[in-house]
Structure 1
Amino acid sequence: MTTFQPDAGRLVADLSMMVAIPTENPPGCEAALVPFVSDALRTAGFDVEIDEYAPGRMNVVGTLSNGTGPVFALNTHMDTVPAGDGWTRAPFEATQEGDRLYGRGTCDCKGSLASMLEAARLLAATRDTWSGTLLAVFVGDEEVASAGARHYAKHCTPIDFAIVGEPTSNTLFTAHKGSLRPIVEVAGVTAHSGTPELGRNAIYDAARLMMRIEKHHDDVIRHITHPLVGNASLCVTRISGGKADNVVPDACELLLDRRLVPGESEDAAKQDIQTLLDAVAASDGVRARITGYKPTTGGATQTAAEAPISLASLEAVRAVGIQDAGPFGFQGACDLVHFCDTGASGVVIGPGNLAHAHKPDEYVTVEELVDAARIYIGVVRRLMAPHMTAGQ
């Protein structure tokens, strides 16, 4: 049996190159990174498809067929949040200081991407250690609406197992929250601000509604809990109203943020919000309606702790010396739900600490990059050992 170890120098070089290619989302410019990623996969021996799911927005899908066995997907995203302000280092130049590598995306999520590319190379070079079909699915738009993962999930062939790369400090996460963002318009009656009693102030009615939203969160929503991800939530995150300094506003718009826990459905959450709006209309005469939903990453999901991929992942994480291996749960959302929607059994594992993501001076350690590649290889080999079938 042939084995190879991850190359730390190559990992640093790959990640440095990817950090130097900005893929900020918004606006969404993952296409700039596609040539580097696709070339790396082709060089390793993968068949590569560039999947343009919207004008200028792309996924990279690498396929390596290696006999009979399960279909296993390594997935992460190519986009990052905008660099923003407050950096003490150049955000698009990877800066190595000791074991740390700084730059936008090092933690979320180009670190996972570099480790998955390294794992893909080593697995391609050691095909005697596994059997089946290995996929490298690197998507766009995770940071806004998961358009890349949603598109892929709708059109992909069946997948048995998936690891989604996100910053988990290389521990095992088997669950994550979902998100829903209704846009609510509160209607009033316009009037001259000198005679406000002749109208109905939509901002005042929005304030009445917001008090009820806060109470509904405190009395009901926050008591919906999950052992790994904590409690559900409902809050107002944006408000906009009024069209002139001397006019009683006849409209006010609210953006709600509803976080779901595994076991909750989007449809039920939508109905709950509508029921709340109906109740406020009946009690206070507030006319409010849902006019749409802003795009989000998607719903909540969970993979059972006793599932084969969960058990194999725990073994692989512990094998690199991490004792408090999990399973844990994300407070936020990620693309795992879309792979689970295809029927795959999946988990989230990746280098970097979530506390450093989306911040100035984001970083990942070289040790974490190496360990992540070892973990990915370890899980694949455990679940795709020659002569194994899906579900074993």
Structure 2
Amino acid sequence: MGALGRSLAGEVRACADEGEIVALAGKLVSIPSYHGLPKPEEEIASFLHGFLRKNGVKSCLVPLGEGHWNVLASVGDEGGGTEPWNGGEAGLLLNGHLDTVGVDGMEGDPFSGAVVNDTLLGRGSVDMKGAVAAMAMALVALRRSGVRLSKPLLFSAVADEEWWSTGTRALLESGVRARYALVGEPTQLEVHHGHRGLEWLEIRVQGRYAHGGAPERGINAIVKMNAVVTALTERLLPEIAKRVHPIAGPATLNLGRIEGGLQPSTVAGSCLLQLDRRWIPGESARSVTAEIAALLEELARKDPDFSARVVPMRDRKAHPGDNPPLCTDPSSPLVQSLASFMAERRGGFRLGRFPAWSDGGLLSEAGIETVVFGPGDLALAHSMNEVCPVADILDACDGYIAAAVALCGAQGAA
């Protein structure tokens, strides 16, 4: 970032007090928004929308049904009214999700939102309400500063990322577009410009139940599944291991769960195997399913008593669309703006791949150059003791401001 950009980013950042950023993050953590609630995001979306409006940022609530809500906000778009900009192409989209996983087994108060030893505590602190607070405050600071943007800055606080990514899918279906996007999943402020696609599959082997005293009358599905496991591990896994993409990384297959039979004295009439398949450009959700289906068909040709099928674990009719990979060239201005910021802020930066899946895959598939960049350690997400360093949240806010100044054509206040 040049001297002018640093100066403008500094002007903007001065308009958001550190205590204010931390207080907002704590408030968001204190509002339950986990899956299993009747209306998971209703309260938190309403609060965030009101907070943005109160601070002069254009914002709207977008109902998605079944208690799911998006918040869409913007700065840098001229014109009257209080509704956010919704036309053309924005310079940058900040994207973060409002939902969290459940709280069973968590240590202490999962909705504490307290700060202890410079660390924010509670469910969602790292995944990803700390980032959402930093993004919201970036918009508020830009609004207060009077710094003008040539292209609008958008902020989408979305629903249902932890399950079907309903929020980001609806956002894109509504026509919202941006040149660049930044997803605030926890990366410890490393710049992650790629990740793999994701498909969950299940293989069900059908046998025939019989009494354990006369096993010859049945077909043991557990025994038949053994042939499937052998074929997957000895034949398919070595082939998958050869597939590596320079940005998304290596393709993988994980055998995650197996279950079969009813009791020891009954021949198992069915057996279920669930798989996690991380796929890369050149593959697709359908191709990785078809690859396993072909393997099962081959086993069936060799064994007349073998019957099995593979299907996606999600209902494609109710939840269409894939979970695609994220691939952004490291020369992208978005990558470079964040790299420059981190080099100045912390004396260096790390460029890497996000090990999990994120809504960034959907944004990337839509043609938006996207990176994952957020506060905290992914290893603590979904954990029984979820926490996020306050310093990361503050630096993330500054990084989001720096990216907006660089990519939305910032000019001095009028």
* In 1, Cα distance between equivalents of 2:53 and 2:282: 40
Q: Give the counterpart letter for 1:351 in structure 2.
A: P
Note if 1:99 corresponds to 2:118: yes
Q: Which moved more, 1:127-136 or 1:376-385?
A: 127-136
Note if 1:135 corresponds to 2:154: yes
State whether residues 159 and 165 of structure 2, in contact with CA within 8 Å, keep that contact through their aligned partners in structure 1: yes
Aligned residue for 1:288? 308
Aligned residue for 1:186? 205
Trace 1:169-208 onto structure 2 (pairs within 5 A): 169-208=188-227
Aligned residue for 2:339? 314
Q: By how many angstroms is 1:386 displaced?
A: 4.7
Structure 2 counterpart SS, 1:144: coil
The number of residue pairs the alignment matches comes to 385
Q: By how many angstroms is 1:62 displaced?
A: 1.2
Q: By how many angstroms is 1:52 displaced?
A: 1.9
> For the structure 1 residues 322 and 69, does the alpha-carbon distance in structure 2 shift closer, same or farther, using more than 3 Å as the test?
farther
State whether residues 163 and 348 of structure 1, in contact with CA within 8 Å, keep that contact through their aligned partners in structure 2: yes
Q: Give the counterpart letter for 2:394 in structure 1.
A: V
Note if 1:301 corresponds to 2:326: yes
Q: Which moved more, 1:64-73 or 1:378-387?
A: 64-73
State whether residues 217 and 235 of structure 1, in contact with CA within 8 Å, keep that contact through their aligned partners in structure 2: no
Trace 1:38-187 onto structure 2 (pairs within 5 A): 38-67=49-78, 70-87=90-107, 89-187=108-206
Q: Give the counterpart letter for 1:42 in structure 2.
A: R
Out of 277, 283, 286, the position equivalent to 2:296 is 277
Cα-to-partner distance string for 1:42-77 (whole Å, 9 max, x where unaligned): 123333222222321111111334359843211110
> For the structure 1 residues 197 and 280, does the alpha-carbon distance in structure 2 shift closer, same or farther, using more than 3 Å as the test?
same
State whether residues 248 and 325 of structure 2, in contact with CA within 8 Å, keep that contact through their aligned partners in structure 1: no
Aligned residue for 1:33? 44
Aligned residue for 1:20? 30
Cα-to-partner distance string for 1:353-384 (whole Å, 9 max, x where unaligned): 11222212221122111111110000111011
Structure 2 counterpart SS, 1:66: coil
* In 2, Cα distance between equivalents of 1:53 and 1:332: 25
* In 2, Cα distance between equivalents of 1:263 and 1:120: 38
Q: Unaligned regions of 5+ residues in structure 1, if any? A: 388-392
Aligned residue for 2:85? none
* In 2, Cα distance between equivalents of 1:302 and 1:71: 19
Structure 2 counterpart SS, 1:156: coil
> For the structure 1 residues 69 and 193, does the alpha-carbon distance in structure 2 shift closer, same or farther, using more than 3 Å as the test?
closer
* In 2, Cα distance between equivalents of 1:63 and 1:379: 15
State whether residues 13 and 401 of structure 2, in contact with CA within 8 Å, keep that contact through their aligned partners in structure 1: no
> For the structure 1 residues 149 and 85, does the alpha-carbon distance in structure 2 shift closer, same or farther, using more than 3 Å as the test?
same
- When normalised by structure 2's length, the TM-score is 0.86
Runs of 4+ more than 6 Å apart: none
Cα-to-partner distance string for 1:156-188 (whole Å, 9 max, x where unaligned): 332211111011111211001221111222111
Q: Give the counterpart letter for 2:397 in structure 1.
A: A
- When normalised by structure 1's length, the TM-score is 0.91
Structure 1 counterpart SS, 2:353: strand
Q: Give the counterpart letter for 2:338 in structure 1.
A: S
Q: By how many angstroms is 1:292 displaced?
A: 3.8
Out of 394, 399, 403, the position equivalent to 1:375 is 399
Task: Indicate the percent of aligned positions where both proteins have the same amino acid.
Answer: 29
Aligned residue for 1:9? 19
Aligned residue for 1:390? none
Aligned residue for 1:220? 239
Aligned residue for 1:366? 390
